[in-house]
Amino acid sequence: MEELQGSQTQSSLGQEDENEVITESSAFVKGEPAPEFSSNPPKVDSEVEVLHEKVTKQIIKEGHGQKPSKYSTCFFHYRAWAEKSEHKFEDTWLEQRPIEMVLGKEKKEMTGLSVGVASMKAGERALVRVGWELGYGEEGSFSFPNVPPKADLVYEVELIGFDETKEGKARSDMTVEERIGAADRRKMDGNALYQEEKLEEAMQQYEMAIAYMGDDFMFQLFGKYRDMALAVKNPCHLNMAACLIKLNRYEEAIGQCNTVLGEDENNVKALFRRGKARATFGQTDAAREDFLKATKYAPQDKAIAKELRLLAEHDKAVYQKQKEIYKGIFGPRPQPVPKPRNWLILIWQWLLSVFYGLVTLFKRERHKSD
């Protein structure tokens, strides 16, 4: 269930429409590597595009949006490998970060990546190969990540989206209020796209909103500022879960709810949505646990009661089906088969009984005469 913008953090699920989106909650989220990214660069058969003398690109997935301008702040996932080196390095986390696309302002080792990202469209995924001159240079890096000297790099990049200069300044130069405000605008854009059933585009907006409030930023916040940030950040994750459920990506939806429940284990909406994802994913026992726990904090909620009733009906149907299966396997209980009769034995037994009766009668008559 999703909720509209409001001031209550635990409003009744039963009073909301299932297609609504969350605009408030309380949770802190840590990003996880996207499952579609493998531990090695994928094989790409697309044509190599030369972006720079030291930078080439091959498209893995076509984008559906515009390209960022020279002064955009881009949000993207990436992983990196050292190419043609015995000592290979790989970023252990699939990062989600913004980078200001003004060459010379970003880190030196990001120059080649900046060239590659600047050529991409929103939603595009590509392999970007960068020569060592535009990477970590002649000396490499002996901190994190550990990159050997003169290492050519391979980046697997997915451009989530980008901000133009309408925000007025780079993310790193924003105040806390400005960053939260920029994230909130992204969240509202995502909500509008969700209502239009543009789920992939909505998730991009939610991801960019979350990127404004990374772990390093949240770690510095306390009190009301942390609450303000969480009121924007957490609904984005639950709204992403709603999108993922509609896209039948239940495992990812469960992960989004887990991040919320990691901070607020009694969050009714997160429990409800995770329960729905688990139930549809076939994890009925776990789904029932989520719904029962949610019932403790919202005992009158009709939506939760409905889901529990559906699970009970599902269990009953499964039991009946299993009963029919086992009945077909073992068949009906066999009836006792009567033994065949031997008529000679029966006649002999009858003659003996007659003889015994006559003998008994003769004895009685003799006894009377005596």
Q: Tell me: the pLDDT tens digits for 89-145?
A: 655 444 455 655 444 444 566 788 888 888 888 888 899 999 988 888 888 887 767
User: What ranges in the chain are assigned the alpha helix state H?
Assistant: 111-118, 176-195, 199-211, 215-219, 223-246, 250-263, 268-281, 284-297, 302-330, 343-369
pLDDT, residue 243, reads 93
Show me where the domains of the chain are located.
Answer: 40-167
Say yes or no to pLDDT of 61 above 80. yes
Provide the residue type at 7 as one letter: S
Using one digit for the tens of pLDDT, what is the confidence trace for 134-163? 888 888 887 767 788 888 888 888 887 776
> In which band, very low, low, confident or very high, does the pLDDT at 3 lie, cut at 50, 70 and 90?
very low
Side-chain-side CA neighbours of 240 within 13 Å: the count stands at 28
Place of tokens 């529990």: 308
DSSP assigned state of 87: S
Mean per-residue pLDDT, 75-86? 74
Q: Which residues contact 125 (CB under 8 A, 6 or more apart)?
A: 59, 60, 61, 156, 157, 158, 159
- Greater pLDDT, 201 or 162: 201
Q: In sequence order, what DSSP letters do the residues of 210-261 get, joined into one string?
A: HHTT-HHHHHT--HHHHHHHHHHHHHHHHHHHHHHHHTT-HHHHHHHHHHHH
Using one digit for the tens of pLDDT, what is the confidence trace for 238-262? 999 999 999 999 999 999 999 889 8
> In which band, very low, low, confident or very high, does the pLDDT at 34 lie, cut at 50, 70 and 90?
very low
Asked whether 242 and 21 are in contact (CB, 8 A), the reply is yes
| Closest alpha carbon to 158 in 113, 100, 92 | 113
Dihedral sign (CA 8, 11, 17, 18): positive
> In which band, very low, low, confident or very high, does the pLDDT at 38 lie, cut at 50, 70 and 90?
low
pLDDT, residue 113, reads 85
Say yes or no to pLDDT of 31 above 50. no
- Greater pLDDT, 328 or 177: 177
pLDDT, residue 27, reads 30
Query: CA–CA separation, 350 vs 150, rounded Å?
Result: 112
Average pLDDT, the chain: 77
| Closest alpha carbon to 191 in 24, 13, 9 | 24
pLDDT, residue 293, reads 94
pTM of the model: 0.60
Lowest-pLDDT range of 60-74, 87-101, 127-141, 212-226: 87-101
Dihedral sign (CA 109, 80, 233, 184): positive
Using one digit for the tens of pLDDT, what is the confidence trace for 268-327? 989 999 999 999 888 999 999 999 999 999 998 999 999 999 999 988 887 788 777 776
Query: CA–CA separation, 292 vs 272, rounded Å?
Result: 9
Say which CATH architecture domain 40-167 belongs to. Roll (3.10)
Say yes or no to pLDDT of 73 above 90. no
pLDDT, residue 257, reads 93
| Closest alpha carbon to 307 in 333, 336, 286, 329 | 286
Query: CA–CA separation, 203 vs 237, rounded Å?
Result: 9
Highest mean pLDDT out of 3-7, 205-209, 211-215 = 205-209
Say yes or no to pLDDT of 44 above 60. yes
